[in-house]
Amino acid sequence: MNIFRSRSRLRVVAAVLALGLIAAACGADADVAEVADESLTQDELVDLIGEPAGASAQVGDQVLTPDGLAELSDGTLDKRQAAASITSWVRNELWYAELAARGFEVTDDHFAAARAELETIALSDPSVPDLDTAFGAEVIRSQALPTVVAEYLLDVAQVEPAWPVQLCASHILVETEQEALAAIERLDAGEDFATLAMELSIGPSGPNGGDLGCADPSGYVPEFSAGAALVDAPGVSAPVETQFGWHVIEVRSFDASPSDDPAAIRQAVFSTEDFADMQQAVFARDVVVDPVYGSWDTATLSVVPADG
């Protein structure tokens, strides 16, 4: 799972991703809940769910009760909203239960760091919820989870990140092979690549000296990536033909690129087989959902509401 993108805004809670984590809000108040077309008091809801403790969902020995469900809410609660809240809670619990089973201790410091991140995001994003509510606490747990899982894999499991291969290159795009060969002759004579690209290239990167930056090579047409792969970097390619014309490619590097960026590190860790194995173990865990609210769907990792 794609999991873990930039967390500059609260949208990252849903990006928590690659893990399939969703901090889904729901509506209800502490006294009244709406299920389909009927409204229930909290006492009626507890009676409807039944004993023990009116459990609505359970992962291992962790239980979400109707009271806890009500605390996650701030409006009207219907079956689908309840299912979304239970889904969010269960997904968090699945991962935290797996971490506990592997002997990894999640501390208050992890959650304090996640809270600080969310408080910073809240300065420019009004969608950040009140972090002092039960729902806010659940959002904090979701925010912390990518960092916690990455920490376990890196520090405890000693997983080597699967750094992505990046092609760092510039190019000169011309219409004919003869023009490409002529450009190469001028480069061999000592002319500057960027200056020549600004003069000759018909591609949109020409005014910037042909610079394409560093990117996943799969983002280019296959002929371009294949031509670049033949270069002993750093170096310049032979003419490469694509649907856009003829390219002369200056390859600065074409290899796996380690990074110090925390988001990039998480992404590299979550691209490993070790993470995939952990994810499989997480999703194989038993989940019990009270049929009043629906059933747990292992294909979508979510609660399917009882009304379908």
Residue 123 covered by a domain: yes
CA pair distance 230, 89, nearest whole angstrom = 50
Residue 79 covered by a domain: yes
Q: How confident is the model at residue 132 (pLDDT cuts 50, 70, 90)?
A: confident
Mean pLDDT of the chain, nearest integer: 79
Residue 41 covered by a domain: yes
Shared-domain flag, residues 123 and 185: no
Shared-domain flag, residues 106 and 169: no
Shared-domain flag, residues 120 and 217: no
What's the total number of domains in the chain?
Answer: 2
Q: What is the CATH number of the domain that holds 180?
A: 3.10.50.40
- Whole-structure pTM value: 0.64
- Average pLDDT (48-59) is 48
Residue 268 covered by a domain: yes
What would the pLDDT profile of 151-200 be if each residue is shown by its tens digit? 999 999 999 999 999 999 999 999 999 999 999 999 999 999 999 999 99
Q: What is the pLDDT of residue 23?
A: 29
Residue 298 covered by a domain: yes
Cα 273 to Cα 153, 262, 281: the distances in Å are: 11, 20, 12
Q: How confident is the model at residue 109 (pLDDT cuts 50, 70, 90)?
A: very high
Residue 3 covered by a domain: no
Q: How confident is the model at residue 143 (pLDDT cuts 50, 70, 90)?
A: very high
Residue 5 covered by a domain: no
Shared-domain flag, residues 194 and 238: yes
Shared-domain flag, residues 117 and 155: yes
Shared-domain flag, residues 155 and 169: no
Residue 96 covered by a domain: yes
Shared-domain flag, residues 135 and 243: no
CA pair distance 289, 272, nearest whole angstrom = 31
Residue 201, classed as helix, strand or coil, is: coil
The residues pairing with 167 across neighbouring beta strands, listed in sequence order, are 215, 254
Shared-domain flag, residues 184 and 149: no
Domain carrying residue 25: 11-159+263-305
